[in-house]
C-alpha cells in the first residue's frame, strides 16, 4: 500500500512532522522486499517513537513496518514481525507465562525499531532475549543473523552501521508464572510514573544517550535546562532528558532546544552528549546545520 504526501504527524509520538512524499505500508516481508528493491534509499520506520520528523516533511520514500505484524509462539520461542508493538508482544508473553519481554510493556516501540535500537529498560534489553533476526541486506537479500552477528551494545546494533532492515525477530523466553511476570511489568510501569512523561505529553523518550558511566539526565539537570522553552517545546520539569511538545512545536523548535541543552552540558562539563533520538528530514537548512553539529545526520 502506497500513500503519497502522507501526513505523518499523527503517527509520531512527538506529534511533529510534515508530509512524506511516498509512504509505503507493506503487509508482508515479500512486499517489503519488493518495495525496497524499487526504492533502495527508503527510510524504514516502525512506530515513530524515536524519530523527530521534520515539520518541512521528507521528499523521499519511507517504509512503515506496522502491517508486518505476525506473531508465532512455539514453546518458549516467539517469532514476531518487525511491525509488532512491543507492548502487545509483552502482554501475549504474559498470557503464555513466558518471561523476558517485561521491559517492552513500558514504551511504545515496534519489534523492528527495538532491535535496531537494542532498546531496553529496567535491567532487560533486546540483546538479552534475541535469538536471531531476519534482516534485509541490500547486497544479500533476506538473511538470518544470530544474536552474536547483531553487534549489540548500549542502544545500538549492526543495523545502525549497515543499511540493514529488520523484518522479523525470534526471541527465547523462559517459563515463569503470571504473577511473577505481572509483578515485574507493574514495577516497570510504576517506576516510570513521574520519572518519564506519558504520551499524553507528546515526546520521543530520552533525548540524549547516557555517556559512559554517567547519566544524561543528571548532567542536563545540573546544567540547569529543566523548564527551558523554545517555541512550542520545553524541557520536562520532572526529568531533564525529555523534551515535550506543548502542542504546536516544530521540528526546528525541538532541534534548537537540543542544541541549547547540548551546549550547556558541553560548557559546564566538557562532555559532548550524543542524541538518542533520530532525525528524518533534510529540507530545512537551519535544521541540517544543527543536525550536523549534533551528529544527527
Ligand X SMILES: Cc1cc2nc3c(=O)[nH]c(=O)nc-3n(C[C@H](O)[C@H](O)[C@H](O)COP(=O)(O)OP(=O)(O)OC[C@H]3O[C@@H](n4cnc5c(N)ncnc54)[C@H](O)[C@@H]3O)c2cc1C
Note the residues at the interface with ligand X (CB under 6 A).
13, 43-51, 65, 82, 106-110, 112-114, 116-117, 119-121, 159, 165-166, 196, 199, 203-205, 278
Q: Which is nearer to ligand X, 91 or 266 (CB)?
A: 91
Beta bridge partners of 71: 80
Catalytic residue among 22, 134, 155, 278: 155
Catalytic residue among 85, 206, 264, 287: 206
d(CA 262, CA 272) in angstroms, rounded, equals 7
Catalytic residue among 102, 114, 170, 276: 276
Q: Which is nearer to ligand X, 136 or 225 (CB)?
A: 136
d(CA 108, CA 204) in angstroms, rounded, equals 10
Q: Is residue 206 flagged as an active site residue?
A: yes
How far apart are CB 115 and ligand X at their closest, in Å? Answer: 7
d(CA 9, CA 231) in angstroms, rounded, equals 18
Q: Which is nearer to ligand X, 104 or 173 (CB)?
A: 104
d(CA 140, CA 256) in angstroms, rounded, equals 40
SS3 202: coil
Specify the pairing of strand 278-280 against strand 51-53.
parallel
How far apart are CB 12 and ligand X at their closest, in Å? Answer: 8
Give the three cell numbers for residue 159: 543495523
Specify the pairing of strand 233-235 against strand 243-245.
antiparallel
How far apart are CB 122 and ligand X at their closest, in Å? Answer: 8
204, 50 contact by CB (below 8 A)? yes
Q: Is residue 276 flagged as an active site residue?
A: yes
How far apart are CB 159 and ligand X at their closest, in Å? Answer: 5
Beta bridge partners of 170: 79, 132
How far apart are CB 267 and ligand X at their closest, in Å? Answer: 27
Q: Is residue 155 flagged as an active site residue?
A: yes
Q: Which is nearer to ligand X, 99 or 196 (CB)?
A: 196
Query: What would the DSSP string read from start to end of 103-124?
Result: GGGGS--BHHHHHHHT-EETTE
Q: Which is nearer to ligand X, 188 or 284 (CB)?
A: 188
Catalytic residues: 155, 206, 276
Amino acid at each position: 500500500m502506497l500513500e503519497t504526501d502522507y501526513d505523518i504527524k499523527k503517527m509520531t509520538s512527538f506529534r511533529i512532522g510534515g508530509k512524506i512524499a511516498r509512504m509505503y505500508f507493506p503487509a508482508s516481508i515479500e512486499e517489503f522486499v519488493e518495495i525496497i528493491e524499487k526504492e533502495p534509499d527508503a527510510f524504514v520506520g516502525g512506530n515513530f517513537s524515536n524519530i523527530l520528523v521534520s515539520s518541512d516533511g521528507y521528499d523521499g520514500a519511507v517504509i512503515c513496518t506496522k502491517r508486518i505484524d505476525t506473531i508465532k509462539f512455539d514453546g518458549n520461542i516467539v517469532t514476531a514481525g518487525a511491525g509488532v508493538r512491543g507492548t502487545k508482544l509483552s502482554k501475549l508473553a504474559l498470557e503464555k507465562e513466558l518471561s523476558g519481554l517485561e521491559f517492552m510493556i513500558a514504551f511504545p516501540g515496534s519489534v523492528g525499531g527495538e532491535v535496531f535500537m537494542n532498546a531496553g529498560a529496567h535491567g532487560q534489553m533486546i540483546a538479552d532475549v534475541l535469538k536471531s533476526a531476519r534482516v534485509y541486506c541490500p547486497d544479500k537479500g533476506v538473511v538470518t543473523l544470530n544474536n552474536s552477528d547483531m553487534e549489540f551494545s548500549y542502544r545500538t546494533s549492526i543495523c545502525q552501521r549497515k543499511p540493514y532492515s529488520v523484518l522479523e525477530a525470534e526471541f527465547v523466553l523462559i517459563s515463569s508464572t503470571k504473577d511473577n511476570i505481572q509483578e515485574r511489568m507493574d514495577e516497570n510501569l510504576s517506576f516510570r510514573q513521574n520519572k518519564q512523561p506519558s504520551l499524553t505529553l507528546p515526546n520521543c523518550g530520552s533525548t540524549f544517550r547516557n555517556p559512559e558511566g554517567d547519566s544524561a539526565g543528571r548532567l542536563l539537570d545540573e546544567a540547569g535546562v529543566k523548564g527551558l522553552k523554545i517555541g512550542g517545546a520545553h524541557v520536562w520539569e520532572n526529568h531533564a532528558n525529555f523534551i515535550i511538545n506543548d502542542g504546536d512545536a516544530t521540528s526546528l523548535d525541538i532541534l534548537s532546544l537540543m542544541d541549547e541543552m547540548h551546549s550547556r552540558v558541553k560548557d559546564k562539563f566538557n562532555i559532548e552528549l550524543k542524541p538518542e533520538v533520530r532525525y528524518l528530514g533534510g529540507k530545512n537548512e537551519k535544521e541540517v546545520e544543527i543536525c550536523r553539529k549534533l551528529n544527527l545526520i
